[in-house]
Amino acid sequence: MIPFSPLIIDCDFPLLYKSFLNTYKPSDNQVITYSVRTSIYTYLKIKKYPSGSKVLITSINIPTILDILNDLNLEYI
């Protein structure tokens, strides 16, 4: 991952490549963000998961992600 690059979730390689070349324009349903914590918080908030829902997390390297899950009353696995 390139430092300070946008977080793009659920994308294919050509889309990722275009984003690195700054030729990609997001559609109505997409957002490019430069903050992992803010984007994850916003995504989980929009999805409105019920309190106590379990979220599978792999290879955490940002400890505050767990704080975000706790703030939203979600459980992490």
Tokens of 51: 């309190």
Residue-wise pLDDT for 6-55, tens only, equals 555 555 667 666 666 666 666 666 666 777 788 888 888 888 889 999 98
What residue type is 10 in one-letter code? D
Q: Are 75 and 49 in contact (CB under 8 A)?
A: no
DSSP for 14-63? HHHHHHHTT-----TT---BS-HHHHHHHHHHHHTPPTT-EE---S---T
**What is the structure's pLDDT at 51?**
92
**What is the structure's pLDDT at 54?**
92
The region, left, alpha or beta by phi > 0 then psi within -120 to 50, assigned to residue 50 is beta
Least confident of 26-30, 48-52, 57-61, 62-66: 26-30
